[in-house]
Structure 1
Amino acid sequence: MTVSAELKSDLLAARDLRQLDLNSFINTEHNTVIMMALNIPGPDKLPAGGEALMAWGRRCVEVKTGAHCVVTNRDAAGLYMLFVCDLAPQRCKELAVKIEEQTPAARLLDVDIYTNDGDQLGRANLGFKARRCLLCERPAVECMRTGNHEPDAIVQSAQQRLSTFIN
């Protein structure tokens, strides 16, 4: 499985547009901005079960943080949502990590936390371990960088995780 130059270009453009959406909620009256997105390996960024997983994630974010969804969108990189929240960013990150680790499928959600100044609060900021690879216990970023696994195996793992969200 290879990613075409066109898809790479589309993904970069989508990331830039997401950043513009995010920036419009920075430096507002809210303490925290939350961006939740599907993090799906492979070219199909909205496979079966993806929308249901995002709906589940939205409910979790809203219930656990009291956040209000202000943007729901789909682009070349998949689905994403922006929320504003009055909780402290550190508390939101703690809750985000719990959401991401709640079920095997939730591992396919990225719940990113931004301060009112626009700084992203990562797992390391609060002493949490890096996200694990979908196929092994190593940090995901390490496996991505070194190409430890066949891309098709990673896609299959994601599809298997999403199967619990397919009616």
Structure 2
Amino acid sequence: MELMSSRPTNLRIGLTQMLAARDERVQRQRIWLKRYGESLISFCINIPGEIKDNAAAHQLQAAGILAVQRELKALGWRVSAHASWRHITGPEAFWSVAVPAATLKSAMITLEQQHPLGRLFDLDVLQADGRSLSRREFDLPPRRCLICDELAAVCGRSRRHSNEELQVRIHQILHSYLSTQEQRHVCTV
């Protein structure tokens, strides 16, 4: 997978490219787990549609990385390594953290639930042995749809909402967040 420049490519991608990207991410995860022997956060963005490398994805990645780094720092957890990538199949980031995976997953679930953009973040946590922890292990229900109150997986499988509807909702969430951040910045200057 070729890494992209800092500018969004806005290229359309297909299922074959997404599957290849997932396989490559799994390989990178294995390398990191072997190299650091610690819990691993694997961060992606939940963006529907054929264009995964766009301006919104870059903004979401920047906000997500900042949110994760702030959370890890606030909790006083040591990060052994961190890296981020921007592919045509979407942005990604990894953190290797010297904390038990269950503790780390709990913190990442809280971040996904409490951050204004958290619903758009996909914060997977893997144990040092490579097993990924799920929300079910924490007695949490699956994620809900961005538009209605149905389970996200149900809406996704049935294609209940168009990509255009989902893109509009994502842009509303992102715009609201960025406006709030801008107002906070103006107030502190």
Interval of TM-score (by shorter of Structure 1 and Structure 2): 0.7 to 0.9
Aligned to 2:6: none
Larger radius of gyration: 2
Q: Per chain length, whose mean CA-contact separation is higher, i.e. which structure has more relative contact order (CA < 8 Å, sep 6+)?
A: 1
Report the Cα distance in structure 1 between the residues aligned to 2:56 and 2:162, rounded to whole angstroms.
Answer: 22
Cα RMSD (Å) of the superposition? 2.1
**Offset at residue 10 of structure 1 (A):** 1.2
Name the structure with the higher helix share.
2
Stretches of structure 2 lacking an aligned partner (at least 5 in a row): 1-11, 183-189
Aligned to 1:113: 125
Aligned to 1:98: 110
Contact between 1:40 and 1:46, CA under 8 Å: does it hold in 2? no
Report the Cα distance in structure 2 between the residues aligned to 1:104 and 1:46, rounded to whole angstroms.
Answer: 21
Aligned to 1:124: 136
Identity %: 26
Aligned counterpart in structure 1 of residue 22 of structure 2, from 15, 20, 28: 15
Stretches of structure 1 lacking an aligned partner (at least 5 in a row): none
Contact between 2:146 and 2:169, CA under 8 Å: does it hold in 1? yes
Amino acid at match of 1:153: E
TM-score, normalised to structure 1, is 0.86
Deviations 1:81-108 (A, max 9, x none): 0110011111111111121122342211
Contact between 1:50 and 1:165, CA under 8 Å: does it hold in 2? no
Amino acid at match of 1:7: G
Contact between 1:62 and 1:68, CA under 8 Å: does it hold in 2? no
Instruction: Indicate whether 1:165 and 2:178 are aligned.
Output: yes
Aligned length: 163
